[in-house]
Amino acid sequence: MPHSLTIHELMEKLDSGELSSQQVVKAYLDRIEAVDPKLNSFVTVDREGAMEQARQADRQRAEGGRGALLGAPIAVKDALATKGLKTTASSKSLENYIPPFDSFVVGKLKEAGAVIIGKTNMDEFAMGSSTENSHFGATRNPWNTDKIPGGSSGGSAAAVSADLCAGAIGSDTGGSIRQPASCCGIVGLKPTYGRVSRFGLIAFASSLDQVGPMTKDVADAAVLLNVIAGYDSLDSTCADVAVDDYTSGIGDGVEGLTIGVPREYFVDGMDPEVDRSVRESIEALENLGARIKSISLPHTKYAVPVYYVIAPAEASSNLARYDGVKYGFRADGADSLVSMYEATRMEGFGAEVKRRIMLGTYALSSGYYDAYYLKAQKVRTLIRDDFLKAFEEVSVIMAPTVPTPPFGIGEKTGDPLQMYLNDVLTINANLAGIPGVSMPCGFSADRLPIGVQVLGPYFKEKLILRVARTLEGVLSCNKAKPVIN
């Protein structure tokens, strides 16, 4: 079936004429209609638009045109602006917002010929680890619909895992690509901060957010990164650094590389099945010629408190714009400007978003800025320095992505601290700005996916993809597909 193919497999069949884009897109749309009511991975499915894009792709190919993604159906997290197509950030505040422009990443996808099949569900404004904090309802994990798919890019992860799109785009502020990739048994790549433009990404925490691919295998992540990476003058934080061909050399193996294993990432309370699967993955790479070295990242234990000062502080600032004045939701019945502000923000935001705005506003308030925000930024520098020191000794770092398999829907919604601790192994890479890729490395006894992440030095996405592709070659778990009841 076309919907079971990877992007690189699909492109071969499209270019050879074995399949048409219209056949492929219709197969995906039919599968979304049949399967997604059980998962709720999409907020918007652009059926008419997708079929028209498919017809255009077929015409272009018939005329000799080619593109890296010509005719391939790609889903986009609903935090990225899509011209003429709703972009809600899964919030009531933006439930009817239709942008007049494309984000940089969506523009690059369209230039490459991708068919934008729809917008995926997420935690509201990307604030969450389970995709339960959505105005449009929770997304469910294809491997077990009683479990969470991870967050905040849970809709993209579930859609890729369930073969509802050829690939997807997510965003990662504290693990929001890698953590759901682990939970849903797919590949998720967070590039170096500044590698991919954030223009048109609805901001959560601007010094942490990064856009990246979510795919069925490692090669597809390289294909998508080739398309979306690059300098953009409209994003002042985008790095003007040459873009590699991430697909070349991906099969070169790991012989001669040194893999660092941080002691601090094998935390107390880690599920023993996760521990075993990750250690077996590391051992597999050692058997293929890599050298394994135990390392220390001593400031890891401060990552969660540092993140939950910095990210809410930036969110407090970024979300101040949603006041009911220029666009988005406005509450009815207000008798003054101030009461309109209050009612709009009270009704327009969900509980988790309001919690983080209050945390961030407090951290930035007079008398507390130095004690919280400034101190957190100083410790953030120490966390970054840990990685810089480690990469003087090792080529890459390997660790679990998430300390446990996916937990049950509703299991942690009443305990925000326990929910926040679910990101304990992914936050560090965002604070440091380094790239990381998560890939499936096994299953729990309950047949729930387990992920391992490979972290690398700045702008070494090609290296971490090479390591991940090598591991993928000796594991079979990435070929497994969920059975959706």
CA pair distance 42, 58, nearest whole angstrom:
25
Which residues partner with 260 through β-bridges?
293, 397
State the Cα angle at 436 between 286 and 309, rounded to 5°: 130
Active site residue 152: yes
CA pair distance 348, 86, nearest whole angstrom:
17
Burial (CB count within 10 angstroms: exposed 0-12, middle 13-18, buried 19+), residue 18: exposed
CA pair distance 338, 361, nearest whole angstrom:
18
Q: Residue 329 in contact with residue 348, Cβ under 8 Å? A: yes
60 C-beta neighbours (distance < 10 Å), count: 16
Considering 91, 176, 281, 395, which one is annotated as catalytic?
176
CA pair distance 94, 83, nearest whole angstrom:
15
Peptide linkage before 182 cis (omega within 30 of 0): no
Considering 103, 134, 152, 171, which one is annotated as catalytic?
152
Active site residue 281: no
State the Cα angle at 171 between 195 and 8, rounded to 5°: 75
Q: Residue 183 in contact with residue 144, Cβ under 8 Å? A: no
Considering 20, 21, 41, 77, which one is annotated as catalytic?
77
Q: Can you tell me which residue has the tokens 């967050």?
A: 151
> What stretch of H or E contains 309?
helix 303-318
CA pair distance 416, 149, nearest whole angstrom:
17
Active site residue 176: yes
Give catalytic residue positions: 77, 152, 176
